Amino acid sequence: MATITIIRADPSVGSTALHHLLKRYLDDPSLVHARFVVAYAKWSGLTLIAKALERFLKRDGKVDLLFGFDNGVTTPDALHYAYSLREQFGTAVFAGAIRWNYNNSLFHPKSLDFETKTQRCVIVGSANLTKGGFLANHELCVQVSMSASSPEIAAFEATWSHYCGLAEPITPTLIRELESAAKLSSEKKSENSSEARPSLALPISLGAGPLYKHLQRSARPAKRRKVLEEADTLSEKPRRLYQQVLRETGPGGTQMQFPAAAAGAFFGLAPAEARQATFIFPTEVVNVRIAHYPNITNRIPLRTLARVARPAIIVFTRIGEDRYRCRIIRKSDSAYASTLRDKCTEQTNSRSRRWGLA
């Protein structure tokens, strides 16, 4: 016999926020399978459970994620995170997006499903996989708990199979298609905005920060670089690129080399894409063509480098669309050693230039 429980999240009582409940389920050592199907998904919601989700996957758990889109809320960052889990954990993760091509209708369910060898718990209600749904909103859900042999499970299995049949795998190509067709939102867009009312005070220490930072901390190096290389559609991109320059090629050593991961995650270039960018150095402004080639390093001509002793670090700071303010940190500068240690945290191999995103 199934047991029904009402779950009421009240933002005035922080302990009732749904992310607490989800983390308890994900940290349960008896959990074997978690399945989420939601209309709206944002990294701002996923970040609240990301560490628990990855701990569960490292215990050989299975996770299925199905997200709706074209709804003004779901972001490319949420889809990139689902894809990154698939890349890191292989077939233990199913990540799908559900296309619903009707202009007067949305894909709108919200179901969170947790399975152990003996129990099944399904939470169905108003909460989406967003910061609002898991932390900030009033939410009302029904929790159905039953034994693994309960006849009610058949209904949930049939519903899940139906939704899986509607889904297509999340890939960087799909995310680019949806972004180009304006079917995705942005992490910078407020979920609950009204200038006429004050903002709710929320804990600022929760979550894992921007997605690129979480990937740098959590993913294995080879997988991390691959995912960052394909993350050209992130709505919350790094503000700075730190790039070490060594023995560059070209006339006078003026062809700066940067990794494909920086081409994607920082410069926002899809593989094989190229466009013009403006680099503003203290003494000159350089207009260059930057490109994302399908190899380990990419080159851009920077005549400024001809006058720079090696090694050095170039700091690129985003100040506009395809516009970057550039600062040179020379080895003789007091900040060189600490910048190389603390900011240039990535390296393709032991002999390559170090770099980092911030």
CATH classification at residue 304:
2.40.330.30
Task: Quote the CA–CA distance of 355 and 257 in Å, as a whole number.
Answer: 11
Find the CATH number of the domain harbouring 145.
3.30.870.10
* 270 and 143 in a common domain: no
- Domains in the chain, number: 2
pLDDT tens column, 139-189: 999 999 999 888 888 888 899 999 999 999 999 999 999 999 999 999 988
Domain's final residue, options 180, 200, 222: 180
Kindly state whether residue 185 falls inside one of the protein's structural domains: no
DSSP state of 129: B
pLDDT band at 129 (very low <50, low <70, confident <90, very high): very high
Range of the domain at 113: 3-180
Beta strands, E only, the chain: 3-9, 31-38, 62-68, 93-98, 110-116, 119-125, 139-147, 167-169, 240-245, 255-259, 274-280, 285-291, 297-301, 312-320, 323-330, 346-347, 354-357
**What are the helix (H) ranges across 90-181?**
131, 153-166, 172-180
* 140 and 245 in a common domain: no
What's residue 191's pLDDT? 73
Kindly state whether residue 216 falls inside one of the protein's structural domains: no
Kindly state whether residue 229 falls inside one of the protein's structural domains: no
* 51 and 154 in a common domain: yes
* 280 and 138 in a common domain: no
Average pLDDT of the residues of the chain: 91
Kindly state whether residue 284 falls inside one of the protein's structural domains: yes
* 252 and 128 in a common domain: no
* 101 and 13 in a common domain: yes
What's residue 205's pLDDT? 64
Give which of 151, 105, 144, 148 is closest to 124, Cα–Cα: 144
pTM above 0.75, yes or no: yes
Higher pLDDT, 154 or 232: 232
* 336 and 241 in a common domain: yes
Burial class (CB in 10 A: 0-12, 13-18, 19+), 335: middle
* 157 and 62 in a common domain: yes
Q: What percent of the chain has pLDDT over 90?
A: 71
Contact 147, 115 (CB under 8 A): no
Kindly state whether residue 105 falls inside one of the protein's structural domains: yes
Domain's final residue, options 134, 160, 180: 180
Domain's final residue, options 140, 155, 180: 180
